[in-house]
Amino acid sequence: MNGSRTSNAVLLSEIVAGLAASGAASAVCVPAPYLAQCQAQLAGSALGWGAQDVSAHASGAYTGEISAAMLQDFGCSYVVIGHSERRAYHGESDAQVAAKTVAALAAGITPIVCIGETLAQREAGQTNAVVAQQLGAVLAAIGGDDVAKLVLAYEPVWAIGTGKTATPQMAQDVHQELRGQLVAKNAVAAAGVQILYGGSMKPENAKELMAMPDIDGGLIGGAALKAADFLAIIHAAD
């Protein structure tokens, strides 16, 4: 929950200007009030845009919710679903995340499905079981062909803003587990699914993380608020 119309205009302009030399796919997922600004400023650029949440419902008496059709109106290509903060602060369940994923897919919007464990779960040796359950709920709700339309983001909650860090190998181990689960659902599609790392990726660690075979990119938080840092991460993927 960051940004203003004025600061957004500067940030987006700087990011677009710095993308010229990059072959990596990139996008910004912004608070809903700024989707119109993204549509106006980014149309025709190399920078995609999307939202931070979507309703599982198509329309109706759901005050405060934002439907996939509404996101379509603003040209959204992506939507973040099941972010760790939504799960923690709003009590979003695996079933709700799965329903939102289905809604996004039905609207032709790419869902960036977030998955990850807490520190307590990691210390209890439950990492693989937790992420398998979270991803499993989504895979059970979609058809095999829809696997190719997903983007996953692994967020080790314990490594976000805590000072604790996951090593590239620790992150890779979980990404490999997620890839294996995708293979079990649709082996052909699984290889092409992008699995992003969302555990405080920064310019300093981006290249080392993305050198891992199953880490295909990053879901960037605070570092994306500074154009130079965000661009450094994007260029690390080239």
Q: Is residue 2 part of a domain?
A: no
CATH of the domain at 198: 3.20.20.70
Is the residue at 66 inside a domain?
Answer: yes
- Catalytic residue check, 57: no
The CA-based angle 89-72-133, given to 5 degrees, is: 40
| Active-site annotation holds for 90 | no
The per-residue pLDDT for range 61-85, each reduced to its tens digit, is 999 999 999 999 999 999 999 999 9
Residue 26 has what pLDDT? 97
Q: Which of 57, 83, 117, 177 is catalytic?
A: 83
| Residue 35 domain-assigned (yes or no) | no
- Residue 144 in domain: yes
pLDDT at 161: 73
Q: Let me know: does 49 contact 26? Beta carbons within 8 Å.
A: no
Please indicate, yes or no, if residue 231 is contained in any of the structural domains: no
Which residues are bridge partners to 195 per DSSP? 152
Confirm whether 73 is domain-assigned: yes
The domain total for the chain is 1
Q: From the candidates 14, 57, 117, 155, which is the catalytic residue? A: 155
- In this prediction the pTM is 0.96
Backbone phi and psi for residue 206, each to the nearest 5 degrees, phi listed first: -60, -45
pLDDT tens column, 117-147: 999 999 999 999 999 999 999 999 999 999 9
46 domain-assigned: no
Q: Is residue 121 part of a domain?
A: yes
Residue 141 and residue 96: Cα distance in Å, rounded?
11
Domain that holds residue 131: 51-221
